[in-house]
Amino acid sequence: MTSISSFPCLLCSKTYNTKKKLQSHKRNKHKNNKLIHIQKYQCVLESTEGEEQLKHIFKYDEIIFCEDINASTWSYILFENNNGQYKITFSWKQKKHKENNRIFLTGTLLINFIANSRKFINEKSYFALL
């Protein structure tokens, strides 16, 4: 399986298939662009308390990010099991650019977590761990 990389311009949302084409686009279309500030943030949610916070943020009892009806499985973020406790880390950076006397904010978000899968039986009523 081959993966196709894409390189988005954070100022105008155009996407290029190579970094070189993106850099050329930035030089030609955003030549007056100046990076003026970078801010970095990180949030870590751990164990049962972190799980409760994430449920509250997303307003869901279970954080299920993939459901396969044909295979009767759910994939979800794992915070705790018999082997230990896990965490989910949100890291993001925000950049401020100035172009033609206008300020643009751009950002990148990275989410790092452990996932697990569960098989469901009878319309999600009973669970059996895979």
Shared-domain flag, residues 107 and 87: yes
Three-class DSSP category at 56: helix
Residue 40's pLDDT is 93
Shared-domain flag, residues 102 and 41: yes
Shared-domain flag, residues 23 and 66: no
| Pairing verdict, β 115-121 and 126-129 | antiparallel
Dihedral class, residue 13 (left if φ above 0, else alpha if ψ from -120 to 50, else beta) = left
Contacts of 85 (CB under 8 A, 6+ apart): 46, 47, 79
pLDDT digits (tens, 9 = 90+) for 53-93: 888 888 877 666 677 878 888 888 888 888 888 899 999 99
pTM over 0.85: no
The domain containing residue 1 runs over which residues?
Answer: 1-31
CATH number of residue 3's parent domain = 3.30.160
